[in-house]
Structure 1
């Protein structure tokens, strides 16, 4: 769930949540501590965060693409990765038997032994997906105890949402906005006490213009909340967050 490919983070979280649904007694006690530990790790993310964007699509017709690096980055680069072809699976060679026979050593999808350092913000994003899927599972099965345990993590979730000290913070914010309607449905009234902190970040995301996708997702969440929560709950949340109530009118 800390993979450098966004779809892998989300799909891994969903797979684990599905497994928890099948074996709740065995897995829940193991998953919850990891969720508690990893969700707020983005707070320790250094300013110079990274994303996994410079790769070549896998396949026999792929054309390797050289990764552009500054002199400073090149001096710090890991030789396991620098000047090597990187494919969409994250490996250093395609998964084709023809290529494998021609290689002097086993590398690539089936024999990848090199891993890049984990980005803390990506690990936290994986936990956002896991929390969402677990909450949906707990809500659908009527497990009040599990929902209460997950509700205790909402302060950590709001802090991770607000975290902005690293370069790619808008990506985590966007992914969390994408999942907030599901989180809202799963937690229901339990989310109300935490609305002020979420509203602060949502208003900032919806009001900025640098990241259009984030702006759209945040605006959609605000519209969804206007339809979900009572007006007095949202007005009180705005007051507690020191926000002008007009933010709800402008974005609704």
Structure 2
């Protein structure tokens, strides 16, 4: 196949006469081969093959295309279908080769009108790959999208919305967790960027798909599904209202997830519920925040980051009986994800299927509530309930006798400036003294990240409230803190 690729590239458009069904059948057979290296090479051969038409810009180019004498155009429908499969391959290397061949194929066509014949097989896959986790595929796909759509990508997605939605839903069922994550990100994009009248008929179907992804083994998929649901709730509040009873437990589970970024994503998603609905939904959210802050007192002193995970050595070894063709050695064994040593993570089917999650601890929920309260502070309609919970948040900092106290304190220090900017200068100054002991305790922490977060907190508060105000409050509260306050690099002078 690589030899054939060199021949095609060497002959250029002279090879066009030799492209027949027999040759295409050979190449297409390679594209469906079980070995990923063969498929990858096959797509690079396809990329070479589509360049062997008449050269763009020549008089014969458009004439050849329009009279369907060019072999690539003549077999274009089959080409586009196989290219679509390559763009959706489970292996990143094959997906990259398919992306290269797809760009070359579309660029070899002389006009947008001719390209449109092949868009149903290619637009959904090209669109999803802009979010694919493998950086090479993602960046290349983003550039291809710019080249092909010429700024009209939104219109193309709207024109082929049925194909796009169908492909996204199927992608959430992929064995590759990176594909499921990208699909959730793309579904979120549909909710926030595409015309609402176009997406509205598909909202129920997409929400149902995201609810399944919420229970995925892979935390990036759970995070992406949570953020996507938040977008849909905000953009389609009435269509999403019936899903709220199912969404609340999932949102709150993510708010206390073991992964910090998942907790942050849940805070953003839940804030969209508050933006979209009335006081009845607000009460549910604020009750959860209050519960999260109050329950931290139940935190066990010996909190472990991976307490519920088996401590025995992981079975990442290779089967040693290499010459033994016993089928038991190759059947029903652990599968591994593309490009990593982690076991392949499947879609979830409910809360009992989370093989890679440990039970949440109270401090994790409390930290998620800190993120959520900071997000809600930027919503003017709920400034009153947010203000009432700030003393409860400060009181949560007084529970200190557990291993991850410094993690919780670090988050509080990071979010205080955000909370201040959301509430406004005058309202926040009423609560500043509640946190000063904890901020200076964090500054003295042996944990470098916690200490740095506390110092940065005071610097940002000085820039927002004014250095004179913060200095005066610190001195009035406890003059012994002033030496440490003045020693912080970056504190602005009055």
Do the two structures share a fold, i.e. TM-score over 0.5? yes
Per-residue displacement from partner, 1:36-69 (whole Å, max 9, x unpaired)?
222232222110112259799x8234325xxxxx
Cα distance between partner residues in 1 of 2:348 and 2:479 = 51
**Contact 1:21–1:137, Cα closer than 8 Å, also in 2:** yes
Question: Are the structure 2 counterparts of residues 129 and 178 from structure 1 closer, same or farther at C-alpha, using a change threshold of 3 Å?
Answer: same
Q: 2:364 aligns with which of 110, 114, 122?
A: 122
1:193 aligns with 2:430: yes
SS in 2 for 1:152: helix
Cα distance between partner residues in 2 of 1:198 and 1:128 = 13
Q: Which residue of 1 aligns with 2:223?
A: none
Q: Which residue of 2 aligns with 1:181?
A: 417
5 Å-filtered alignment, 1:3-42, equals 3-42=257-296
**Contact 2:461–2:470, Cα closer than 8 Å, also in 1:** no
**Contact 2:293–2:393, Cα closer than 8 Å, also in 1:** yes
Q: 1:218 aligns with which of 454, 462, 474?
A: 454
After TM superposition, give the deviation of residue 26 of structure 1 in Å: 4.1
After TM superposition, give the deviation of residue 135 of structure 1 in Å: 0.9
1:161 aligns with 2:400: no
Structure 2 unaligned regions, length at least 5: 1-254, 315-335
Q: Which 10-residue stretch deviates more, 222-231 or 168-177? A: 222-231
TM-score normalized with structure 2 length: 0.38
SS in 2 for 1:177: helix
TM-score normalized with structure 1 length: 0.72
Which structure has the higher relative contact order (CA within 8 Å, separation 6+)? 1
Q: Segments of 4+ in structure 1 off by > 6 A?
A: 53-56
SS in 2 for 1:176: helix
Cα distance between partner residues in 2 of 1:63 and 1:236 = 52
After TM superposition, give the deviation of residue 159 of structure 1 in Å: 2.0
**Contact 1:174–1:218, Cα closer than 8 Å, also in 2:** yes
Structure 1 unaligned regions, length at least 5: 65-86, 88-92, 96-107
Cα distance between partner residues in 2 of 1:164 and 1:46 = 10
Cα distance between partner residues in 1 of 2:384 and 2:480 = 28
Question: Are the structure 2 counterparts of residues 153 and 243 from structure 1 closer, same or farther at C-alpha, using a change threshold of 3 Å?
Answer: farther
After TM superposition, give the deviation of residue 123 of structure 1 in Å: 0.7
Cα distance between partner residues in 2 of 1:21 and 1:119 = 28
Q: Which residue of 2 aligns with 1:50?
A: 304
Cα distance between partner residues in 2 of 1:18 and 1:161 = 27
Q: 2:406 aligns with which of 167, 170, 177?
A: 170
After TM superposition, give the deviation of residue 111 of structure 1 in Å: 5.4
After TM superposition, give the deviation of residue 222 of structure 1 in Å: 0.8
Cα distance between partner residues in 2 of 1:219 and 1:26 = 39
Q: Which 10-residue stretch deviates more, 25-34 or 162-171? A: 25-34
Question: Are the structure 2 counterparts of residues 35 and 239 from structure 1 closer, same or farther at C-alpha, using a change threshold of 3 Å?
Answer: same
Cα distance between partner residues in 1 of 2:450 and 2:277 = 36
Name whichever structure is richer in helix by fraction: 2
Q: Which residue of 1 aligns with 2:338?
A: 60
